[in-house]
């Protein structure tokens, strides 16, 4: 089999390999960007902007404050907030202090918080006040000694902050009562930090800087240990694929996905610093009107998101009235991009919806389609620079071109391992190869295709049925808004396909939908049960929870 067949199809200007030695650590990288672009806007949220120079100053103060509280390099700090201006300041400050950042979903229940904080041995936390009552319930069972509270409006001017916080606390009543001792506000930490210095420490390429929690390929949530090298490598890989389309200091990027999610963290929070981009943060990606509002307020040139978000936008009439004349790049990840959604996006915005693929364990990007639209729709693209990929069978032996098997990958962006989980690490990373748990295939041009997750596969009378294929077909029906396919037990065939459908209008009938499926699917793939829903269960990022549907089916 030809080695790296994808290289002959790389877009002009994209290198086969990147130089991972450009930066020794992430701090060196963002120091350079903060200085180079100090007068340009770096981040914006709810109409308030902060410049690269301000992020530089605030994050230095925050780092010094953390050291003044007795925190040392290597200690863990949890960041628990949605997309707010505080997030980039906190993460750059924590990294400047040499702390290991534990990105934490703010919507976690107390039980989920406790597991993550105990597992990573967290000593400090920056948390939005909206979620402080949950922290109060479990903090006594953790090693947390420093609690920094913040509010939604805290980084805005005094008047605007007061209005925002009044609305959040008293009108929307989004802040449950809590009683946490010895806390400080985020603003106080920045002010106090100005009085102190950052302690010097060694910051090596192989040092772990992030614990990014994931369900991984098996079992319970695990902390993927990402290093300076793995994160920097992935940023440079992203830049290598995007740089032909970006203008330094001129890009306005939209980040509706939360930055505690690995996709937005690496692409929007970090990689965009390489070109001095102005990143617009959306605090709640599920608030579709707020996403549309930012399109109307800013001339967006680049956007990242996931299929459910793009689908929600293209089904809003108001979205069609936005100005898309500046939009050059739209990248989808996190879940499969459905053809019907990609086609509709291109029709409305004039911009190709490019699909990429990756995992938390790979920092995350592994593959992407060419951004000029010359790729293959339905594929996840080609491996990015300095990345090897193969399709293997259950014995780990490479399969023939076009044959399905497990995707495995190797490159400088792969994690160091799972924190305190040597057994899981050994099962997931074998001889440097990351076993993704995803079933895929590669064509003769080196393009890869996701067939499905191993755990989501449906087995009908010995035949493998992949939910993605069923969902793609159902989405082609003009009256379907969303769909999820799962396998349910069946006495005769072991499992059969059941679909959960959110219709665009009430007139859609089961018989009409079934007829559509029979016209486009072979017999054993045709859904045996159809259930209409008003909505489908999703993660806070917007990925449909097939497992929840399967368990309740």
221 and 341 housed in the same domain: yes
Choosing from 421, 453, 485, the residue where a domain stops is 453
Q: Could you give the CA distance from residue 439 to residue 423 in angstroms, rounded to a whole number?
A: 22
261 and 144 housed in the same domain: no
User: Tokens in use for 442?
Assistant: 């590669």
313 and 409 housed in the same domain: yes
User: What values do phi and psi take at 12, rounded to 5?
Assistant: -55, 135
473 and 438 housed in the same domain: no
465 and 411 housed in the same domain: no
Q: Between these two residues, 320 and 461, which has the higher pLDDT value?
A: 320
What is the domain extent for residue 102?
46-203
Residue 85 lies in a domain: yes
Q: Could you give the CA distance from residue 272 to residue 21 in angstroms, rounded to a whole number?
A: 19
Q: Please, which residues have CB within 8 angstroms of residue 118's CB and are 6 or more apart in sequence?
A: 141, 142
Could you give the percent of the chain with pLDDT greater than 70? Answer: 98
Residue 429 lies in a domain: yes
Average pLDDT of the chain is 94
DSSP E strands: which ranges in 91-205? Answer: 100-103, 122-128, 146-150, 183-185
Confidence at residue 62, expressed as pLDDT on a 0 to 100 scale:
98
How many residues in total does the chain contain?
Answer: 553
pLDDT tens for each residue of 455-507 = 788 888 767 788 888 999 999 999 999 999 999 998 877 889 999 999 997 78
- CATH number, residue 449: 3.40.50.12780
Split at pLDDT 50, 70, 90, the class of 216 is: very low
352 and 488 housed in the same domain: no
Split at pLDDT 50, 70, 90, the class of 220 is: low
Residue 349 lies in a domain: yes
Strands 252-255, 302-305: pairing is parallel
- CATH number, residue 501: 3.30.300.30
pLDDT tens for each residue of 165-189 = 999 999 999 999 999 999 999 999 9
265 and 393 housed in the same domain: yes
User: Tokens in use for 47?
Assistant: 């109409």
Q: Could you give the CA distance from residue 472 to residue 500 in angstroms, rounded to a whole number?
A: 13
270 and 306 housed in the same domain: yes
Split at pLDDT 50, 70, 90, the class of 83 is: very high
Across 138-147, 219-228, 305-314, least confident range: 219-228
Residue 106 lies in a domain: yes
How many structural domains does the chain have? 3
Residue 173 lies in a domain: yes
- CATH number, residue 83: 3.40.50.980
Q: Between these two residues, 457 and 86, which has the higher pLDDT value?
A: 86
Residue 34 lies in a domain: no
Split at pLDDT 50, 70, 90, the class of 515 is: very high
* Average pLDDT of the residues in 115-126: 96
* Average pLDDT of the residues in 512-533: 93
pLDDT tens for each residue of 362-385 = 999 999 999 988 999 889 999 999
11 and 80 housed in the same domain: no
Closest CA to 488 of 539, 553, 532, 534: 553
448 and 464 housed in the same domain: no
Confidence at residue 218, expressed as pLDDT on a 0 to 100 scale:
45
Residue 243 carries which DSSP code? Answer: G
Closest CA to 38 of 22, 52, 48, 50: 52
Question: Do residues 30 and 17 lie in contact, with contact meaning Cβ atoms separated by under 8 Å?
Answer: no
Helix/strand/coil (H/E/C) assignment for every residue in 486-508? EEEEECCCEEEEEEEEEECCCCC
Question: Do residues 533 and 510 lie in contact, with contact meaning Cβ atoms separated by under 8 Å?
Answer: no
Q: Looking at the predicted structure, is the pLDDT value of residue 452 above 80?
A: no
Confidence at residue 492, expressed as pLDDT on a 0 to 100 scale:
79
436 and 494 housed in the same domain: no
pTM exceeding the 0.85 threshold for the entire prediction = yes
DSSP E strands: which ranges in 375-528? Answer: 382-383, 388-392, 405-410, 417-418, 429-430, 433-442, 448-453, 458-460, 463-465, 480-490, 494-503
Residue 35 lies in a domain: no
Confidence at residue 336, expressed as pLDDT on a 0 to 100 scale:
78
pLDDT tens for each residue of 386-420 = 999 999 998 999 999 999 999 999 999 999 999 99
Confidence at residue 419, expressed as pLDDT on a 0 to 100 scale:
97
386 and 515 housed in the same domain: no
Q: Looking at the predicted structure, is the pLDDT value of residue 526 above 50?
A: yes
Q: Could you give the CA distance from residue 147 to residue 198 in angstroms, rounded to a whole number?
A: 19
Confidence at residue 215, expressed as pLDDT on a 0 to 100 scale:
55
Choosing from 453, 483, 515, the residue where a domain stops is 453
Q: Could you give the CA distance from residue 518 to residue 526 in angstroms, rounded to a whole number?
A: 6
Residue 32 lies in a domain: no
Strands 48-51, 146-150: pairing is unpaired
Q: Could you give the CA distance from residue 310 to residue 448 in angstroms, rounded to a whole number?
A: 22
Choosing from 422, 453, 484, the residue where a domain stops is 453
């Amino acid at each position: 089999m030809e080695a790296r067949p994808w290289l002959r199809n790389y877009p002009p200007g994209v290198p086969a390999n990147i130089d991972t030695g450009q930066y020794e650590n992430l701090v060196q990288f963002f120091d350079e960007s903060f200085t180079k672009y100090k007068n340009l806007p770096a981040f914006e949220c709810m109409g308030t902007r902060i410049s690269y120079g301000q992020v530089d100053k605030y994050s230095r103060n925050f780092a010094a404050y953390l050291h003044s509280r007795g925190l040392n390099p290597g200690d863990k700090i949890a960041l628990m907030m949605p997309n707010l201006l505080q997030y980039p300041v906190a993460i750059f400050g924590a990294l400047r202090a040499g702390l290991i950042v534990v990105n934490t979903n703010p919507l976690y229940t107390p039980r989920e918080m406790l597991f993550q904080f105990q597992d990573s041995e967290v000593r400090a936390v920056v948390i939005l006040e909206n979620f402080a009552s949950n922290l109060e319930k479990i903090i006594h069972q953790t090693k947390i000694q420093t609690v920094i509270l913040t509010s939604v409006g805290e980084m805005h001017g005094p008047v605007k902050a007061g209005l925002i916080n009044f609305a959040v606390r008293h009108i929307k009543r989004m802040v449950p009562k809590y009683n946490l001792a010895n806390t400080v506000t985020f603003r106080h930490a920045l002010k106090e930090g100005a009085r102190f210095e950052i302690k010097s420490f060694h910051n090596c390429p192989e040092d772990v800087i992030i614990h990014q929690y994931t369900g991984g390929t098996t079992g319970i949530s695990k902390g993927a240990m990402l290093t300076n090298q793995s994160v920097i490598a992935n940023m440079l890989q992203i830049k290598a694929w995007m740089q032909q389309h970006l203008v330094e200091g001129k890009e306005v990027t939209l980040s509706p996905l939360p930055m505690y999610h690995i996709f937005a963290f690496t692409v929007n929070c970090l990689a965009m610093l390489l070109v001095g981009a102005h990143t617009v943060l959306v605090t709640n990606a599920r608030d579709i009107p707020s996403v549309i509002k930012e399109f109307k307020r800013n001339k967006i040139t680049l956007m990242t998101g996931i299929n459910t978000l793009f689908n929600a936008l293209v089904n809003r009439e108001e979205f069609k009235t936005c100005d898309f004349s500046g939009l050059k790049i739209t990248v989808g990840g996190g879940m499969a991009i459905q053809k019907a959604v990609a086609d509709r996006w291109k029709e409305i915005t004039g911009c190709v919806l490019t699909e990429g693929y990756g995992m938390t364990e790979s920092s995350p990007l592994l593959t992407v389609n060419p951004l000029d639209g010359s790729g293959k729709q339905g594929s996840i693209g080609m491996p990015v620079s300095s990345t090897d990929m193969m399709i293997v069978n259950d014995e780990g032996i490479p399969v023939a071109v076009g044959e399905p098997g497990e995707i495995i990958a190797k490159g400088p962006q792969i994690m160091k391992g799972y924190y305190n989980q040597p057994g899981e690490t050994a099962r997931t990373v074998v001889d440097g190869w990351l076993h993704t748990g995803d079933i895929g295939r590669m064509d003769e041009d080196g393009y890869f295709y996701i067939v499905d997750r191993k755990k989501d596969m449906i087995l009908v009378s010995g035949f493998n049925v992949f939910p993605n294929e069923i969902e793609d077909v159902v989405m082609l029906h003009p009256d379907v808004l969303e769909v999820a396919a799962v396998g349910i037990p069946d006495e005769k065939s072991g499992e059969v396909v059941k679909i959960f459908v959110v219709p665009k209008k009430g007139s859609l009938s089961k018989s009409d939908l079934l007829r559509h499926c029979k016209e486009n699917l072979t017999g054993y793939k045709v859904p045996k049960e159809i259930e209409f829903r008003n909505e489908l269960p999703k993660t806070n990022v917007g990925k449909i929870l097939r497992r929840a549907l399967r368990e309740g089916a």
